[in-house]
Amino acid sequence: MPERDELEPLDDDPPPRPARTGGTVRIDIERRRDDRPPRGRDRVATEEPLEIRLITEHGEELRERRIAVTMRTPGDDFDLAAGFLFSEGVIGSADDVAEVTYCTDSRDPQLFNIVSVRLRAGVRFDPKRLERNFFATSSCGVCGKASLETLRLEGQVPVAGGPTIDAAVIRALPDRLRPAQPLFAHTGGIHASGLFRADGSLQIVREDVGRHNALDKVVGALLQRGELPARDQILLVSGRASFELVQKAVRAGIPVIAAVGAPSSLAVDTAKEFGATLLGFVGPKGFNIYSGSQRITA
């Protein structure tokens, strides 16, 4: 993305930091560019930790457990928490969830960076299984499912059916997603996941500094609407297609996964293993098909 030429003018006071942070933050900067003002105020994507807590019922006792901390852009936090728990197999449907709230019992100023998910009575949760399947990386925070074997052991079945999509629709997806990315337009430093129908109409879009978080927000929105599995949808991600993104999409029943960038080898293996269509380098001039070509027409 080209550098934005227009910066906000500076004033005497530093930009305020609100108690509830938005998707962007104003930062005072210096710039070394010909014919450009040397100082100004730019917008950068907000990145803050979100702690996800799980509350379970044991008789009349409530037990709270810290599940994960992920770096994210504030906004759609409930979708993110629900989508994360679904993608990682902690919950199986929206019926498993009794309530999603911000944790407000801290003595610290409320920054809305802790989300508590309360499971319904009778929903079973195995914390040891959670510890086995989660691991942290420096690039994406909290990721899950270290192998295809783990997916198979959890009973994941191949993605069934799915639409037949004209190649021209696929080529047009990035241009249809871009106008729905306001945070990217302001900052140039944020990922997006968009869900489309077979005719190319955009249904849901979510943005985040973490590409996994953007997809979890989409999955969480579908979960809470009761629209999973998403068997007739196309997913477009703004960056590369990693194993974790394909795994999350497969669990959500999304049959077609398209990426502006390249897939990884394990992403391709996962798509083939579970019958998903995986497309890479999607743009106006074309794309590559790595698996599931039967869903794409010439």
Which residues carry out catalysis?
140
- Cα–Cα distance, 173 to 157 (Å, whole number): 27
Write the CB contacts of 84 (distance below 8 Å, at least 6 apart in sequence).
52, 68, 70, 142, 213, 216, 220
Kindly tell me the burial class for residue 101, based on how many C-beta atoms sit within 10 Å of its own C-beta (0-12, 13-18, 19 or more). Answer: middle
171, 248, 258, 295 from 282: Cα distances, Å: 6, 20, 7, 15
Tell me if 239 sits within 8 A of 122, measured CB to CB: no
Q: Which two tokens stand for residue 236?
A: 């477009």
CB burial readout 153-172, b (16+ within 10 A) else e: eeebeebeebbebeeebbbb
Alpha-carbon dihedral 238, 242, 245, 249, rounded to 10 degrees: 100
Helices (H), the chain: 77-87, 127-133, 148-153, 167-177, 182-187, 211-225, 243-251, 265-273
Choose among 18, 24, 14: nearest CA to 47.
24
Residue recorded with tokens 């743009």: 283
